[in-house]
Amino acid sequence: MLSIDLTGKRAFVAGVADDRGFGWGIVRALSQAGASVCVGTWPPTLRIFTKSLERGKLDMSTPDGGSIELEKIYPLDAVFDTPDDVPDEVRNDKRYVELSGYTIQEVADQLRTDFGEPCLDIIVHSLANGPEVQNDLLDTSRSGYLAALSASAYSMVSMLSRFAPLTRPGGSLVSLTYLAAERVVPGYGGGMSSAKAALESDTRTLAWEAGRRYGIRVNTISAGPLASRAAKAIGTIERMVDYYEANSPLPEVLAADEVGAAAAFLCSPLASGITGETLHVDKGYHAMGMQADTPLAE
């Protein structure tokens, strides 16, 4: 029987803060396939995440009824490459002041210390942030635009640059993108559409560079909307979910586990010939050219 087997593989999933988003769906799928999983959590949400874990408030089951055992949780703020990049106002913020080692380089160094080198097989970039996402692009400030690109796109470049030397041959990176990289999605502003377009372009370039230099495959999943806690920052996420359900070829609400399964496939030997790809996991919505409920459709 052909199956996804990641036994003996170690994954690092960046961008996990609760059990409701795509990041957790990917953790569930990778765990079900047998991988050991470490996660990177944004410092402002780290305490809530770890407390929820300790109190048994997170869904620690895998889709097949097994259980998730996180190997280690690292604080990670992927906006900062090295400690020198952290400004004093962040370093002294109450959510950061008791933490250390949360820059990308420091997390890579800690992985090396904890597990040796090489120690990774799978890197998952489930990171996005746009402080002005509710603003039209025309009303987005330069700082808001650049912040969206930094957190949502360049962070993948920086992570791969620093984590690739820790990755064993045949490794894989998977990120998450959105259809706004290709088409206009009103309400998805603040430079986030630009950031997702950059991420998809970088996926192709990094597939070439990391493939030739390290033998790593690089792909991204263009997922449909999910009413996760993080996505609520958009402000219209529930309406987006309903719209997709009404207009997709498969008129269903997308589940995080469906994106998780696709990510597990892309990270597995079954996808050994796939790199530089943007894979749409959105119930087919990306294929539509007009609304389903129109006189012409009837």
CA angle (261 as vertex; 270, 106 as ends), nearest 5: 90
pLDDT of residue 237: 80
Which residues belong to the active site? 178, 188
- How high is the pLDDT of residue 2? 84
Q: 40 has which bridge partners?
A: 14, 74
Query: What's the CATH number for 10-287?
Result: 3.40.50.720
Strand order in the sheet with 10-14: 70-75, 36-41, 10-14, 120-125, 167-177, 217-223, 278-281
Q: For residue 62, how many other CB atoms are within 10 A of its CB? A: 18
Measured CA to CA, the distance from residue 26 to residue 112 in angstroms comes to 23
pLDDT score recorded for residue 295: 59
Distances (CA, A) of 272 to 8, 35, 37, 169: 17, 17, 21, 11
- Sequence ranges of the domains in the chain: 10-287
| pLDDT for position 228 | 65
pLDDT for the residue 198: 98
The CA-atom distances, in angstroms, between 85 and each of 19, 88, 91, 130, 143 are 30, 10, 10, 19, 16
The model's pTM: 0.95
Residue 13 amino acid letter: V
Nearest CA to 157 out of 206, 116, 190 is that of 206
Average pLDDT by stretches of 10, the chain with 298 residues: 93 96 97 98 96 95 94 98 98 95 98 97 97 96 98 98 97 98 95 98 98 98 85 72 95 97 98 98 95 69
C-alpha dist (Å) from residue 17 to 146, 166, 179: 23, 24, 23
